[in-house]
Amino acid sequence: MFKIFHGFHLVEAYHKNKRENRSQESSVNKRIIIALILSVITLIIWNLPAGVFGIDGLTVIQQRIIAIFILATLMWITEVVPSWATSIFIMVLLLLFTSNSGIKPIVDEEQVGQLLSYKDIMSSFADPVIMLFIGGFILAIAASKTGLDTHLAHVLLKPFGTKSENVLLGFILITGFFSMFVSNTATAAMMLTFLAPVFKQLPPEGKGRIALTLAIPLAANLGGMGTPIGTPPNTIAMKFLNDPDGLNMGLGFGQWMLFMFPLVILLLFIGWFLLKTMYPFSQKTIHLEIESNMEKTKHTKIVIWTFIVTVLLWLTDSLTGINANTVALIPFAVFSMTGVINKYDLEEINWSVIWMVAGGFALGYSLNASGLAENAVKSIPFNTFSPILILLLSGLICFLLSNFISNSATAALLMPILAIVCGAMGDKLDAIGGTATVLIGIAIASSSAMVLPISTPPNALAFSTNLVNQKDMSRMGIIVGIISMVLGYALLYLIGKAHLL
């Protein structure tokens, strides 16, 4: 994966290290023990008396879904297997034990209650939002294949001159911009390789190297908030906000950028100020040398114009009537028809992320289609909950979880639950700006979680350079993360109160 991206060797080394850690005998034994414990917990929940759950009218199928949901939560948190493997596993469990294509003696509808449609469970992998993911990956692959990404970095960094602090700002802004449209992992890997010639000019005893190295993951994590395709939690939020059978808010790509793009720019400048203050450069000038490997071919021109048209269509979706999911397939069609990408390039799509998200969608579908969500709403007095408490708790839980497990997994777990809770609270959420404040807040909180080297792939890549220690990364991650959440939630509150969503 990412083989064609500049700086792929960093990503490869990162994944190789994770595989080696998983394959160590002590790690294998630990994961086997955890798997056994999780199996026991799941079986207990699976077979508990229905009255224990306090949900009126709970069916056997609904109880099984609760058990599977809890199993998914624990598996994602403990990472007993990779996140995408957990998603596949829970989709198979749902198909076998809760659907109309399940094991016959176990899914007798007269005894266990309303069954799920196996077609709808499987269609989670072909959800329109998945097309948005694929479109974003295809754009990134085409940009890297033609050298457009390195050329843009070469061109865009030039205006920042040679002053060290300005070069730092350039790396932050360009990394943040790329992360809005390209995988933050690929962006971080590419930008970290560009730092190599810069470091040769800086004295090893200075703090400038630390500032530049920390700048890349910081900007990559924050930049992803700027667009719906910037990071999976954004796209998951769009799924639940725009679900025709759910909230049906019709939030567009352009609307998202209208309020999130300025927030990202502000946060990037705050990050720059903090970095240059906390890790000042001892050398005041840096001469950048980034070679552009873009060839001026027909394919390059096609990629450039397709990229421009796609972004314009995304930004004007409210005018054209073409939603972001449909627009995402346009570059796929253009690039495949013109030969920009071929069947081998499709192997570069980050299928593990897509499977991870699809599993979350399947869980969300199961909660609603089984009637479990409706029964829970009737049995639990959500409308008596404090909106502020829901907002703060959901953001805090998301921030804490995302520092230890995949932010995609965190969003996939929390979004379906919060969509149900928010729906049950009705107009009461108007006090904090509505349901959108809570769900988009989850996307902001997950992107703000960058405290540990394991929190995000960009953090891990930067840490692997051995130019920063965990103390520096944690200090910057905590400060920027808190500022990001405070400003992000404040913005969402003001937008919601002004009914701009």
161 falls in which pLDDT band (50, 70, 90)? confident
pLDDT in tens, 292-315: 667 788 999 999 999 899 989 988
Let me know whether 177 and 317 are in one domain: yes
Let me know whether 118 and 7 are in one domain: yes
- pLDDT at residue 1 above 50? no
Question: Is 472 a domain residue?
Answer: no
- pLDDT at residue 481 above 90? yes
Q: Percentage of the chain with pLDDT > 90? A: 30
Let me know whether 107 and 205 are in one domain: no
Q: In whole angstroms, how far apart are CA 2 and each of 88, 140, 186, 353?
A: 22, 10, 7, 13
37 falls in which pLDDT band (50, 70, 90)? very high
Question: Is 53 a domain residue?
Answer: yes
Let me know whether 66 and 97 are in one domain: yes
pTM of the model: 0.82
String of DSSP letters for 281-304: -SS-B------------HHHHHHH
Q: Which residue has the higher pLDDT, 195 or 441?
A: 441
String of DSSP letters for 439-492: HHHHHHHHHH---STTTSHHHHHHHTTTSS-HHHHHHHHHHHHHHHHHHHHHHH
172 falls in which pLDDT band (50, 70, 90)? very high
Both structure tokens of 219: 């900007």
Let me know whether 110 and 136 are in one domain: no
Let me know whether 189 and 216 are in one domain: yes
Let me know whether 94 and 161 are in one domain: no
- pLDDT at residue 336 above 80? yes
- Report whether 351 contacts 387 (CB < 8 A): no
Within a 13 Å sphere around the CA of 4, how many CA atoms are in the beta-carbon half? 23
- CA-angle at 242, arms to 412 and 483, nearest 5°: 60
- Total domains present in the chain: 2
Domain interval for residue 28: 1-124
Let me know whether 225 and 336 are in one domain: yes
Q: What is the pLDDT of residue 363?
A: 87
- pLDDT at residue 4 above 60? no
d(CA 304, CA 300): 6
Question: Is 458 a domain residue?
Answer: no
Q: Which of 348, 366, 389 is the last residue of a domain?
A: 348
Q: Which of 124, 151, 174 is the last residue of a domain?
A: 124
- Report whether 86 contacts 78 (CB < 8 A): no
Let me know whether 120 and 175 are in one domain: no
- Report whether 199 contacts 211 (CB < 8 A): no
Q: What is the pLDDT of residue 249?
A: 79
Question: Is 93 a domain residue?
Answer: yes
- Give backbone dihedrals phi and psi of 283, rounded to 5 degrees, phi first: -105, 130
Q: In whole angstroms, how far apart are CA 274 and each of 120, 202, 377, 482, 483?
A: 48, 20, 45, 13, 11
User: Tell me, what amino acid is at 102?
Assistant: G
Question: Is 80 a domain residue?
Answer: yes
Average pLDDT for residues 273-291, to the nearest whole number?
A: 83
Q: How many Cβ atoms are within 10 Å of 304's Cβ, its own excluded?
A: 17
pLDDT in tens, 209-259: 889 999 999 999 999 999 998 888 998 898 888 887 777 778 888 888 988
Let me know whether 40 and 102 are in one domain: yes
